[in-house]
Structure 1
Amino acid sequence: MTHTIIYLLIAALLSGMAGYSGMRALQHGHRSRWTVAWMLFSFIAQCAALGIRGELRGQCPLSDLGEILVFLAWSMTIFYLLIGSTYRLSLLGVFSAPVVSVMLWVSVLPGVMDPKPEKAITVEPWYEMHAALSVLSYGALGLAAIAGVMFMVLNKMLKAREVKSGLFLKFPPVSSITASMVRLTGVGTLVLSGGVFCGLLMPHEAGGSMAHFWAAVAVWVAYTTLLTIWQVRGMTPSRMALSVVTLFLVSLVVFAVL
């Protein structure tokens, strides 16, 4: 078993512990103080795994599905650690930790990650920046989608008048969830803008790289349009939440089939 797999298994277990401790705390009606700590330790293990893969590749480790999943999990974790506490969304860890854990578990399955990656002879810096920023943006956009799911769960509980459950009492206010959902979408779109800009500067050659570039442009246009409608015309939070979740899932499917 390679050091990369060991670190990823540790990271998957730690993020799983984060989700478990958070759910246990909710069942007992109190706030978990360990969710952020477990996610922080998971983040450190993810950094170690990505560092090893980067040394093996001689470039940003985004050359196979396993590396992309790890990078995406890393991105979601770092945005949660930065934004989850800032906007009083510690409960976001309960929702995001299982997603991160699943990504890491899938990345270590046989055949998902190249066990013997070839080291790059030449590195195209603009392509590297385009790929890294594009995947990094999905960390924020993924958390925005999770915040959207939180909003829909809370909205459903309000309509059903389930206001005495432990889960409801631990939810942040609707306004905080909505604000964080919009902010995370904005941050993700901004980072994706950097990825698209770097894509414009990389060599334009036919092939998979250009297909991913145009897919990134399409996703950027979709999110920019959504944010513009929210700011200019206005949109109900429920519709915004549904749009953010749907757009994220559709964009994942687009990249998966390319």
Structure 2
Amino acid sequence: MDHWLLIFSTLLAAAGAFWGILSVRQGKRSRWTVIWMAGTFLLQLGFLTVRGQDRAACPLRDTGEILVYLSWSLTLFYLLIGPAYRISLLGVFSAPLVVIFQSTALFPGVLAVSPERVANTSPWGETHSAVSVLSYGAFALAAVAGTMFLVLDHQLKAHQMAGGLFRNLPPIRELLTSLGRLLWLGLGLLTIGIIAGLLMPRNGSMAHLIAAIAVWFAYAILLLVRAKRGLSGRSLSLFTVAVFVLSLAVFALI
């Protein structure tokens, strides 16, 4: 049952991305993207609930579960940030990322077919895993916003201001404000995750905790430089996307 929930949520995200891109090409701003993504979110939540019951723990025990949890977190922050700040086009950019993550999770061997129940769970350990991956949803959406800014910046410099995409992109200032808030939100959540990780019992390798601390420093330095010396929108967007991609690569290797 859980695999079918994941398949249907992936199809809904793909439909949202297709519908959104089609609307943009026609020069329209479709509200259907939000509805598609809301349906995706509910099915993701159903999947995670079923897996959590099977695991008797937070469903973050294999790569597939982590990817789905990250997709759920990304969708959650999109639904909170996008409509609230009238950046509905975030869904057109974030839905394909959800499709990529969840399609990867559906590859054979990535997601356990028969998940085993977890014994001797620690509240601090569960909090560390859940909140840390939740923070990556905020960082992922910040990277999406950064990508949107880079697309808008490219169109401005290329004088391509008549297309449907340009007309539907939000104002630069509004986009950068949302990007900054997402970075601060992600950093705050990651801080909580790291504190929980330091308090949890030591049962083996600390590689993930060390990687999380390294990611925290990378984002903290980025925000500190922005606050103290200032960064152009293009530089902030490039660094935001680069740090997110590099941090994903680090976690994939450990």
Give the TM-score range, shorter chain.
over 0.9
1:21-44 deviation per Cα after TM superposition (whole angstroms, max 9, x unaligned):
111111111111210000000100
Counterpart of 1:75 in structure 2 is 73
The letter for the 2-side match of 1:245 is: V
Partner of 1:227, secondary structure, is helix
CA distance in 2, matches of 1:5, 1:105: 11
User: Matched residue of 1:78: which SS?
Assistant: helix
- Residue 225 of structure 1, aligned match among 221, 228, 233: 221
Match for 1:190 among 188, 191, 202?
A: 188
* Distance of 1:215 and 1:105 partners within structure 2: 25
Output one character per residue of 1:28-72: Cα deviation in whole Å (capped at 9) or x when no partner: 111112100000001000011001100110100000010001000
Distance 2:167 2:157 in 1: 15
CA-to-aligned-CA distance 1:203-257 (integer Å, 9 cap, x gap): 23432xx110010001001111111111111111111111100000010011000
Seq. identity, %? 46
Amino acid at match of 1:8: L
* Residue type at the aligned position of 2:179: M
2:234 is equivalent to residue 238 of structure 1? yes
1:118 deviation in Å? 1.2
Q: Which amino acid aligns with 2:214?
A: A
Distance in 2 (alpha carbons) for counterparts of 1:205 and 1:182: 36
Aligned with 2:40 (options 39, 42, 57) = 42
**Residue correspondence of structure 1 range 98-247 to structure 2 within 5 A:** 98-207=96-205, 210-247=206-243
Worse-matched range after superposition: 102-111 or 193-202: 102-111
Question: Where do 1:16-95 residues align within 5 Å?
Answer: 16-95=14-93
State the shift of 1:116 in Å.
1.2
Instruction: Provide the aligned length of Structure 1 versus Structure 2.
Output: 254
Matches of 1:35 and 1:205, distance apart in 2: 43
Q: CA deviation at 1:198?
A: 0.4
User: SS of the residue aligned with 2:117?
Assistant: coil
Deviations 1:166-207 (A, max 9, x none): 111111011111111111111111110100110110123432
Residue of structure 2 in register with 1:256 after alignment = 252
Task: Give the distance between the partners of 1:108 and 1:80, measured in 2 at CA.
Answer: 23
TM-score by length of 2: 0.98
Which residues of structure 1 form unaligned runs of 5+? none
- For structure 2, the 5+ residue unaligned runs are none
Q: Are residues 179 and 7 of structure 1, via their aligned partners in 2, closer, same or farther at CA, if it must alter by over 3 Å?
A: same
The two structures have a TM-score, normalised by structure 1, of 0.97
SS in structure 1 opposite 2:201? Answer: coil
Q: Would the aligned equivalents of 2:31 and 2:88 in 1 still touch at CA under 8 Å?
A: no
Structure 1 segments of 4 or more deviating over 2 A? none
Letter in 1 for 2:216: W
Supply the RMSD in Å over aligned alpha carbons: 0.8
